[in-house]
Amino acid sequence: MQPEIQQQIQQLRQQLQEASYAYYVLDAPIMPDEVYDRLYRQLQDLESDYPELITAESPTQRVGEQPATQFFSVKHNIPLYSLENAFNFEEFAKWQERWQRVAPSLTPGQEGNAPPLTPPYQGGGQEGNAPGLSNKKNRETTPPLSKGGLGGVSYVCELKIDGSALALTYENGVLVRGATRGDGIAGEEITQNVKTIRSIPLKLNLDNPPPFVEVRGEAFLSLAVFEEINREREKAGEQLFANPRNAAAGTLRQLDSKIVDKRRLDFFAYTLHLDEGNEEKTQWDSLELLRRMGFKVNPNRKICYSLDEVREYYEYWDTERRNLPYMTDGVVVKINSVLLQRQLGFTQRFPRWAIALKYPAAEVPTIVEAVTVQVGRTGALTPVAELKPVQLAGTTVSRASLHNSDRLSDLNLHIGDTVIVRKAGEIIPEVVRVLPELRPQNAQLFQMPSCCPECEQPVVREKGEAVTRCINTSCPAILRGSLIHFCSRDALDINGVGEKLVQQMVDSNLVHSAADLYDLTAERLMSLERMGKKLAEKLVSAIANSKTQPWSRVLYALGIRHVGSVNAQLLTERFTNVTDLASASAAAIEGVYGIGPEIAQSVYQWFQVPANQSLIARLKIAGLQLQSEVKNQNLASTNLQLAGKTFVLTGTLPTLKRDEAKDLIQKAGGKVTSSVSAKTDYVVVGEDAGSKLEKAQSLGIELLSEAELLELLSTP
């Protein structure tokens, strides 16, 4: 291999990378398109002659040659939490009060370096000034606590882009994985499609990149591209996309990356995760580092030191967002200090240090033609308005939630009323208000039924609750909902058992509980309409395969109120078998980190019900996993040297990645947590260890190097 060939290839890649960054990120082209195309062809020819020199970060590798056959689920390195929503400033102020109640006392200087405040938008000179948003004065020091202020804490405000969230993983500066958000714990691996997005660098623009970088951001379609795609689909006689968000999500799930490339998705980065010790001090600094790495960061961001400034930013973009080339549905407000973010942590669903301040959704009038009542798997009765179909936010809406009895009472809803409908969170249609002046004569007031519309048993409404419930555990609606949940993808993932089949099985009296699924035979299933032998055998096999799902999924599948997949995981880590959990007191359950009193009481009460105890007994006989794998092993075994020991990892280890070290510890029976406490047995310390090392030293916890950890693992 001639060194000049390698040098030429490297030089071409560098030129193309710089040109792509200037064009797609800076919006400031540095070379004509025909020059870029000529250089690109030169690189293609050289890589064709010397295929051994092709690397993943080469610009020629953005578009795959062969379509994918399917996407695979991958667990996120770091969970993707949702954001709590606020729909007005009263809700925003309450959120601020909540985090301030749990925040530790702040001292000056915790925030790190704040950017200069003139002009109001920072980011390397791309943004310029926007009218109506100039700061009243420059601040050289953190402002004092004052009425309506933030007590020395600044916020970073960013526009909430209406697209599809992505998680990007870089190792040694090279993009190795791109994944969709999914359920926040796991998503679909779509790396080849992610590579087609030109504003996502294949290689970070850093001379010495960290070994691990995780970037979060939003893939989206500009309004111009969206309209162009729909024009082409209309010409081809294809169904039009409802809105840019749906189009972006659908594009990312195309199996052929060439189609994705043609759709010209764009990307804004907004979150940066680095190994502890390499983190920036503030969210603002993280955004600046993302920009230096080669990402496009939304230019319309601002640092705010008071609620008035947050309101000013929010109100300005409520009007100006209509002039943006992409859709935005609100403002994301984040506490600037990374240290304070870490101290505040997360609830089960949201980070405590960030919130989405949403803009009011579009509202349209329509007529209520009828009201039906749905019964959910928990027995909750939900009234639903059947509407004269109307277009709302890009979709046709013919039904809208009325929530509960209290909401109905507030609305004073009559059949035939003209109502105003909007999408709650821009997703779920809901009735906002009634226009009584347009009410027809003799219109009938709708009232909630006193008996369940499914089983005709009396319904109840607990004191202090807004929800009316059916408490008949044999109610067909509750059974259907429970079975659908039990078989769902995030629960036992029984392929082929969906809503229609569940409806058939319940109506035919084939199943009366989830345990009955495991007694089904192909012959019994063939009694159902349109059920052939081959399909019946396939379903029986899928049901049998579900027996291998782990204890955490089984617990989630039971459908205990308030127990989602994350809570199920937390509970099964503490209670490693169903017997321990079923016999635990409410106080013991509440003792699990992240489990509150309402969840604990719900779990405790569920296991006191005889029918539920019977269900667990039958599932145990059927062979489902009702205990964790570690519990099945002999804790005295030499393969579980670390049983009962709790570890914390901090800093960068010499040879092991953090996930690898965590996996080794867990396979040896140990537990790895994210924070140091008096219950921690060992802290494994790597290079550039941070505050966890200091806390461990103050508590007198034993410290281990990587070599000492490996020695501990090898000791019988």
User: d(Cα 353, Cα 265) in Å, to the nearest integer?
Assistant: 29
Q: Pick from 127, 216, 121, 205: which is nearest to 166 by CA?
A: 216
Q: Over the range 643-663, which residues count as b (16 or more CB within 10 Å of their CB) and which as e? A: bebbbbbbbbbeebebeebbe
Burial group, residue 81, by CB count within 10 angstroms (0-12, 13-18, 19+): middle
Structure tokens at 415: 């059949």
Could you tell me if 213 and 309 are in contact, meaning their C-beta atoms sit under 8 angstroms apart? no
| Centroid of chain to Cα 275 | 21
Q: Is the dihedral of CA 204, 205, 209, 213 positive or negative?
A: negative
C-alpha–C-alpha distance, residues 358 and 332, integer Å: 8
Residue 143's Cβ-side half-sphere holds a number of Cα atoms within 13 Å equal to: 17
How many C-beta atoms surround the C-beta of residue 73 within 10 A? 14
Residue 573 burial class via C-beta count within 10 angstroms: exposed 0-12, middle 13-18, buried 19 and up: middle
What values do phi and psi take at 323, rounded to 5?
A: -100, 0
* d(C-alpha 55, C-alpha 38), whole Å: 20
Phi-psi region of 461 (alpha: psi -120 to 50; beta: other; left: phi over 0): beta
In sequence order, the 6+-apart residues with CB closer than 8 A to the CB of 365 are: 390, 418, 419, 420, 421, 435
- Taking CA atoms, 261 is separated from 14, 265, 467, 682, in Å, by 21, 8, 48, 48
Angle at 304 between CA 299 and CA 307, to 5 degrees: 130
Clarify whether 302 is annotated catalytic: no
Is 167 within 8 Å of 179 (Cβ atoms)? yes
Q: Which residues are paired to 334 by β-bridges?
A: 156, 354
137, 160, 235, 538: the active-site residue: 160
Angle at 394 between CA 388 and CA 399, to 5 degrees: 30
CA–CA separation, 60 and 592 (whole Å) = 50
644: three-class secondary structure by DSSP: coil
Q: Which two tokens stand for residue 680?
A: 């921690």
* Under 8 Å between Cβ of 73 and 188: yes
Separation CA 369–CA 385 (nearest Å) = 8
- CA–CA separation, 539 vs 183, rounded Å? 26
CB under 8 Å to 247, separation ≥6 — which residues?
Answer: 221, 226, 229, 230, 241, 263
Distance CA 558, CA 578 (A): 12
Burial of 411 (0-12, 13-18, 19+ CB in 10 A): buried
Residue 221 CB-density burial (10 A; 0-12 exposed, 13-18 middle, 19+ buried): buried
Instruction: Please state the residue numbers annotated as binding site for NAD(+).
Output: 33-37, 82-83, 158, 181, 218, 334, 358
Please report, in range form, the residues annotated as the binding site: 33-37, 82-83, 158, 181, 218, 334, 358, 452, 455, 470, 475
Secondary structure of 517-540 as H, E, C letters: HHHCCHHHHCCCCCCCHHHHHHHH
The encoded tokens of residue 545 equal 């395969």
Active-site annotation, residues: 160
